[in-house]
Amino acid sequence: MDFSLPKEVEETRRRAREFALREFLPEIASKYDAEEKYPDGIRKKAFAEGFLNFSNPWGLLVTMEEFCRVDPGLGLSAVVPAFGSEVLLLYGNEEQKRKYLDPVMKGEKISGFAITDSTAGSDVAGIGATLTRKDGKYLLNGQKIFITNGAIADHFYLLARSSPPPSEEKRHRGLTLVIVESRSKGFAATQLKGKLGMRATNTAELTFRDVEVPPGNIIGEEGKGFYIVMTFFNISRIYVAAQSVGIAQGVFDRLLAYIGDLRKRGNPAAEFESTQFLVAELASRIEASRLLTYRAASYLFNFNPDPAATSIAKYFAAETAAYAAGKVLEFMGADGITTDVERFYRDAKITEIWEGTSEIEKLIIARMLLQRGDKK
């Protein structure tokens, strides 16, 4: 067994770190956070340097990690413009790939993935948006909330109910994933302001009033959207785990630098046993998160995803990010809340919520392991 990543992946990591240190300068990160503005210029530069490359998933994973290590809000914004597009790679037909995937892959268009609505977040099968057939087309009605890229995306991969569920236990049936263009008549997006963290990313509420969706925009089969969404979560959760590892490593970098400063100033706190314990504890948790993330990624990238391993990585890494940010902020006291550790603290919390809350990850882990017994 070899725990090292291939040379070319490490080379991508080096380039990603260099890019982030050059582009995500502290004053820029702080400005985009304060103004809650999407950094489109940074997105374009990151794209031009080849960081958003679905054919190099390990490269994308370590880019996510290194970008979020320098600044989570800018880092994520730079690699999220193709959000959800894996569903077209896996389930899209040739026409859909040509029309919607190619422009995203060329950096010309932005996509979003719209599942959550006011009636359901964790409980995906409980969503309220509806898709009804009329005159050979479909009409989309309803609303989606907390949608990343919501006010900047050209199109969305959106889940709506197209037929009533056969029974309460089978609510996941009758849901359809469709491509919806943001220029459609009856579509409106309102940017959400004042969210806790990840403020450089664009989040919006979307409304749909009799939006026409051509039958050719159904992804996969009608009524099978729930299963596609679950497959997508097996991918996206690994990238959230990588974001979380990056955030945790970022606050840890700042902790080490801070202790170094204390030492230089002869401050005894640098030598306290509790300080040594904090360094050791966080280093161990971060390393464990990284290994869990790489393990889950290795299953996925070898076309053998393991949902339990994915949820373990996402749950543990997200909690580690939030825990590490809290501990470092606490240790730095007033210095913590007046430096960018404050922003990391706010950004870290979001990783425990999106793409499945920690509670949902734990439910999946328990369900999978109890089903599987000791067979794996």
Ligand X SMILES: Cc1cc2nc3c(=O)[nH]c(=O)nc-3n(C[C@H](O)[C@H](O)[C@H](O)COP(=O)(O)OP(=O)(O)OC[C@H]3O[C@@H](n4cnc5c(N)ncnc54)[C@H](O)[C@@H]3O)c2cc1C
Active site residues: 355
If the CB atoms of residues 12 and 236 are measured against ligand X, the closer one turns out to be 236
For 353, list phi and psi in degrees, rounded to 5.
-110, -50
116 binds ligand X (CB under 6 A): yes
- From the list 60-68, 87-95, 217-225, 354-362, the region that binds ligand X by CB under 6 A is 354-362
Q: Quick check: 354 binds ligand X (CB under 6 A)?
A: yes
Beta strands in the chain (DSSP E): 111-114, 130-134, 137-148, 155-161, 175-181, 187-191, 203-213
Q: How far is the CB of 233 from ligand X (least distance, A)?
A: 10
Residues 336, 330 contacting (CB under 8 angstroms): yes
Binding-site size for ligand X (CB under 6 A) equals 20
Closest CA to 245 of 8, 11, 45, 13: 13
**Rounded to an integer, what distance in angstroms lies between the CA atom of residue 175 and that of residue 125?**
8
Residue 128 near residue 142 (C-beta atoms within 8 A): yes
Which position among 175, 350, 364, 365 is part of the footprint of ligand X (CB under 6 A)? 350
Rounded to 10 degrees, the C-alpha dihedral 40/254/9/148 comes to -30
Check if the beta carbon of residue 343 is closer than 8 Å to that of residue 197.
Answer: yes
The single residue among 72, 121, 174, 250 that binds ligand X, judged by CB under 6 A, is 121
Task: Tell me how far, at minimum, the Cβ of 339 lies from ligand X, in Å.
Answer: 23
Q: How far is the CB of 186 from ligand X (least distance, A)?
A: 20
Chosen residue from 63, 176, 203, 236 binding ligand X by CB under 6 A: 203
List the one residue from 15, 288, 357, 368 that touches ligand X (CB under 6 A).
357
Residues 6+ apart with CB under 8 A from 326: 345, 348
Q: Smaller CB distance to ligand X: residue 105 or 229?
A: 229
User: How far is residue 26's CA from residue 78's CA, in Å, rounded to a whole number?
Assistant: 16
Task: Select 59 or 121, whichever has its Cβ closest to ligand X.
Answer: 121
Binding string, 145-184, against ligand X, x = CB under 6 A?
A: -xxx------------------------------------
- Closer Cβ to ligand X, 25 or 363, answer by number: 363
Out of 122, 190, 284, 338, the residue judged to bind ligand X by CB under 6 A: 122
With beta carbons less than 8 A apart as the criterion, state whether 190 and 146 touch. no
Considering only residues 19 to 48 of the shown chain, the ones binding ligand X according to CB under 6 A are none
Sign of the dihedral defined by the CA atoms of residues 23, 29, 32, 38, in that order? positive
d(CA 111, CA 287): 32
Nearer to ligand X, 112 or 142 (CB): 112
d(CA 246, CA 88): 27
Given 137, 257, 359, 366, the residue binding ligand X (CB under 6 A): 359
Q: Which stretch binds ligand X (CB under 6 A): 23-31, 57-65, 162-170, 353-361?
A: 353-361
> Would you count residue 208 as binding ligand X (CB under 6 A)?
no
* Phi/psi of residue 180, nearest 5 degrees: -125, 125
Least Cβ distance, residue 121 to ligand X (angstroms): 2
Of 31 and 367, the one with the shorter C-beta distance to ligand X is 367
Q: Give the CA distances from residue 70 to residues 13, 18, 66, 212, 230, in Å, rounded to whole numbers and listed in that order.
A: 13, 10, 7, 42, 30
Nearer of residues 89 and 291 to ligand X, judged by Cβ: 89
Question: Please, are residues 6 and 57 in contact by the beta-carbon 8 Å criterion?
Answer: no
Q: Residue with CB nearest ligand X?
A: 121
Q: Which one among 115, 178, 292, 300 touches ligand X, defined by CB under 6 A?
A: 115
Interacting residue ranges for ligand X, rule: CB under 6 A: 112-116, 121-122, 146-148, 195, 198, 203, 350, 353-354, 357, 359-360, 363
